[in-house]
Structure 1
């Protein structure tokens, strides 16, 4: 006998209470599993220990712990939650506590009432998963959890006998399918007035992505993250994007340098303003596009250089521009955000003549990078470079990068105190932030204002839905230098070291593990690429049509239905009308079914359903006499009245044609008055 067959046999031989308890514990574990990455480590260990303990008690048929033990565990759970979060209110503390309460409640499963509490706690915990992620995999996992909880709930309402879980699952699936149209109608028409999955007062948790600072070596870590940062759809008649080498999505601009770390200027951060800075001038036709930005817990809005007008954000959000052309929202991006923007590839920004404000962009920490300072002095002393001005100095530095044996790598090693010196003279290798930082230090040492811009560069087009996907691995750092009569000009020194990084979308990839290498021998790269494109297109569709189904899109739907000036009141009226129409149709269907079906057959079916709830499922082909025999065999003399009633029902079926018409009504009243084996009267037929 195989191990799988032996396991099925063992499970089939378990008492019903043990089977049902183990099934419910499995559903609870499935609900809690996606939360593990968001819970404190001790919470996961504590909840797992409680579930395993409860499973062992059920398997061994041991008694449940006393109330004193449960009370002590409850006090411990609350105390540990307070010690970790300093509160029991808010998203993180609340989810921690609800998981612990759910696990503790499984140790108190004495009866159906306790089971109902576990079910409702399970539904609430299931919803709490969406506080942290609204992704398609999370939704699919919670759909499975919903079916599991509904199955356990249906099973709990069949207290007698041993109904198979498959039967309860079929009933739960039918309930879910019948409720799906109602859920869809509520989703489409219920007014949206605020983000659903948000809890005020919680501090946003960290997420992989750009930071408001750049420590030399930090962006190389992002290159190992292949998750999606944003998706872009170019608008217009042809939807044609600019060349891939021009896809620079602007993020935080960093101008203060302490030797190892670049920080944003405090003055720049303090001057967020809605009007466009006067030092920006644009030319040509703007490029229109739509961005679907993944949550990064910060207010930055990624746009192509340079956006003159603010991005079009959902209602309740506003966009502001800083003096260095960085756009940000009035609150952190904590959920998938979709916005439209216009950018001008041809632009000029910054003062055309040197001003005192530019002095901060040439500042360098004292006593660091002496060899880079010496190199800068040597280059400035060169008569040919001095004659060519700032552009000649830039070209000379780029030429040094192209011809000096410099390499572009993810693993340049740990840089020391003199980061620019190590890059220019010792290691001669680095990732984009090493190259950009060393280049900016050299420019500043030559008295050329320079700063670092972080963001994303490039992207790849999904062949399934046509969206451009920008990943965390596309995170990039480049420099901007100030040139007289031109203002701030983008210079990407990484392109001089590795032209393919910018022009041909050649990214460095992290070494693959054994599993990835093994899969590469089974699935061809082309097939893997296509499967990935399909999956990401599905995720993008989920983001566009579910997570970004805003009130604006609801009102657009009403306009398409003929409403001239739709409002949320119109949504409510339409929803109420649809619910009323559905209820009326359901009532009409019920009345039609009652008149269409033989009243005697309907009463027999109700008796069969009541026996099934009592723990005696019977096939639909059995006549009343055979049903009476089964009832007598199952329940003995306790069900004598039920058996007699079934015999009278059969007698009425074969009575002479002149039998009184009210006889069926008498049997129906007797049916309501019968004392069924579980001791509860049935619902009125």
Structure 2
């Protein structure tokens, strides 16, 4: 099919705009995504059928209706999500009123803006690749818009866009390396995290994460060795309040004086976290710090809570690199060590919920002596009863509010959150303070460049119970029914999908190898790009010869770099000017030679006119033929500017040969 230039350029621009809009379509409301796609399809159909663009009154009506729907949906028109919704729709509408190049420029700039806003949600490696591809496409469309005549090739425009981008890369790298890092460079406040646990827990929450094999965080020991998988626990939210369906952190935390007592050696390590959905920083048990203390971390101030977790004022929605310290569990006692008012919330249970388990626990308490004996009896019951560990236990509490009773007495199938919840309810029914702790347990067996990989599938829930004189003690009821989950840090394998099944049928190790390669690349990206901050800048200055780098030395390097960049830019412009002036200088030289020979020709005319005039002035035939050859070389159908050093070198040789033919008189 023979496409007109209008059809080809419009189709290409629609493809580029769709690429730029695509990642945002799942973030905006469904009606806005559908409207955007319909408008893009409408513009493509008009270009294909060579139909006129719609009236601006139609477009104005659609824009007003879209703004009204955005107002009803989001409540405001000025905001991140509402603004993104309107920009996507307005970009599609602008394509339907492109009557001039200035309209096309508006489309380009809106496209660049949408590409930039993707970094508000993610700064991963795939986003960087998608950005590079989208910018290349937009620049190619921009080059086409600057070539209004004829039908220039897409390949030529894409090559010119790539060349322009390559010329800007040195400046981009220099700005990346030297631009002062004042606060977090890449992080953007807001709930942008998409990985990991939340700060509440209901039946099914952790099992859903267990099907997610994405990386949640990485851990690397700075001195010593990391704990084995059976002791590799990252403490996350501590959940005390229970309404019968959902666990939440304590609403009114009360801090005992003896909250945390530490003994023994420490492990220094480093965390590399993916964006999280919660405000709690998961760290290896146990982290030093008394309740009320603060921790300044990369522009975020964390506060130590009464539950001994580090909490930020907002969700940790950016990639973080955290140096931390852990104390072995054997050297830790968590208070209070004596009865304290803060234990009331850890004994509370909602009224009229799960009566069978409460009665069972009270009967068992009457048969045992002491709190620890009761705890051991509950764990023994889990080992002996026909409980099973599964990701698909079904829905509990669907037809009654007694979901834990259904799990404990009826189906007895569940994941770690089922066992932890039932265990805590049983202990509270016996009057023993208990609470649920969520986090990550275990890690990948193989290290990646010294980093231990912790995935969402390692998400885990366990319990803590309180004993007088000993404080809070850890208990993992999941280990009673599935010891391999805890002892070796293993997670249940998620079901294999159709695509992965086909890959495994060809090569069983290919999927794991490809995933490991992708994660290694992502690790490099996070270390070298997302993790490049102020300390790395000063280390770079040390390599450049600065003994004690500071902001002044960084400013000096920036000034020198900008000066060198300006000098190189001016030199490059001079080189380009010489290239552009090649033919005018050649024609001036030819005109000067003709004048010296006594032939009168106007300097502003072309070689063809010179040949005609010197022929009337009895010039030799070789001179006339040389001028005609120069006319064909300069303005003939095969004339094109030389690109590349090889073609320029051949061009210079051709010029020297032509000049010899001109000045060599018969």
TM range (shorter): 0.7 to 0.9
Q: 1:164 to 1:558 in 2, by over 3 A?
A: same
**Cα distance in structure 2, aligned partners of 1:420 and 1:597:** 81
Matched, 1:116 2:105: yes
Q: 1:96 to 1:350 in 2, by over 3 A?
A: same
Q: Tell me which of 467, 478, 490 is aligned to 1:483.
A: 467
Q: Show structure 1 runs of 5+ residues with no match.
A: 1-9, 606-621, 633-648, 659-685
Q: 1:561 to 1:651 in 2, by over 3 A?
A: closer
Q: 1:95 to 1:196 in 2, by over 3 A?
A: farther
SS of the residue corresponding to residue 159 of structure 1 reads coil
SS of the residue corresponding to residue 491 of structure 2 reads coil
In the TM superposition, 1:53-452 aligns within 5 A as 53-195=42-184, 204=191, 207=194, 209-236=196-223, 238=224, 240-268=225-253, 278-309=258-289, 313-345=296-328, 346-382=331-367, 385-386=368-369, 389-416=370-397, 417-452=401-436
Aligned residue for 1:505? 489
1:625, CA displacement in angstroms?
2.0
Q: 1:485 to 1:74 in 2, by over 3 A?
A: same
Q: 1:229 to 1:598 in 2, by over 3 A?
A: closer
Contact 1:461 1:467 survives alignment (8 Å): no
1:219, CA displacement in angstroms?
1.7
Q: Tell me which of 17, 22, 38 is aligned to 2:11.
A: 22
Contact 2:420 2:461 survives alignment (8 Å): yes
Contact 1:34 1:138 survives alignment (8 Å): no
Matched, 1:581 2:546: no
**Cα distance in structure 2, aligned partners of 1:426 and 1:365:** 21
Contact 2:458 2:490 survives alignment (8 Å): no
**219-228 or 246-255, larger mean C-alpha shift:** 219-228
Q: 1:91 to 1:596 in 2, by over 3 A?
A: closer
Aligned residue for 2:503? 519
Aligned residue for 1:625? 632
CA displacement 1:140-161 (0-9 Å, x = unmatched):
1111111111111112222111
Q: 1:198 to 1:469 in 2, by over 3 A?
A: closer
Q: 1:44 to 1:198 in 2, by over 3 A?
A: farther
1:343, CA displacement in angstroms?
0.9
TM-score normalised per structure 2: 0.84
CA displacement 1:162-188 (0-9 Å, x = unmatched):
111001111111111121111011111
Moved over 6 A (4+): 592-598, 649-653
**Cα distance in structure 1, aligned partners of 2:581 and 2:111:** 42
1:81, CA displacement in angstroms?
2.0
Contact 2:234 2:282 survives alignment (8 Å): yes
Q: Tell me which of 454, 465, 488 is aligned to 1:470.
A: 454
**Cα distance in structure 1, aligned partners of 2:20 and 2:581:** 45
**548-557 or 390-399, larger mean C-alpha shift:** 548-557
In the TM superposition, 1:1-16 aligns within 5 A as 10=1, 13-16=2-5
CA displacement 1:369-391 (0-9 Å, x = unmatched):
33323322332222xx31xx222
TM-score normalised per structure 1: 0.82
CA displacement 1:54-81 (0-9 Å, x = unmatched):
1111111111112222222222222222
**Cα distance in structure 1, aligned partners of 2:391 and 2:356:** 24
CA displacement 1:252-310 (0-9 Å, x = unmatched):
11112222222211112x87xxxx96421112211111112222243211111111147
**Cα distance in structure 1, aligned partners of 2:284 and 2:429:** 29
CA displacement 1:345-395 (0-9 Å, x = unmatched):
12001122233432332222223333323322332222xx31xx2222222
CA displacement 1:585-604 (0-9 Å, x = unmatched):
34446657878999558768
Contact 1:312 1:339 survives alignment (8 Å): no
How many residue pairs get aligned? The number is 602
Contact 1:319 1:330 survives alignment (8 Å): yes
**Cα distance in structure 2, aligned partners of 1:515 and 1:313:** 45
**487-496 or 344-353, larger mean C-alpha shift:** 344-353
Q: 1:19 to 1:592 in 2, by over 3 A?
A: closer
**Cα distance in structure 2, aligned partners of 1:456 and 1:85:** 35
In the TM superposition, 1:486-635 aligns within 5 A as 486-524=470-508, 526-588=509-571, 599-600=582-583, 623-630=630-637
**Cα distance in structure 1, aligned partners of 2:630 and 2:265:** 81
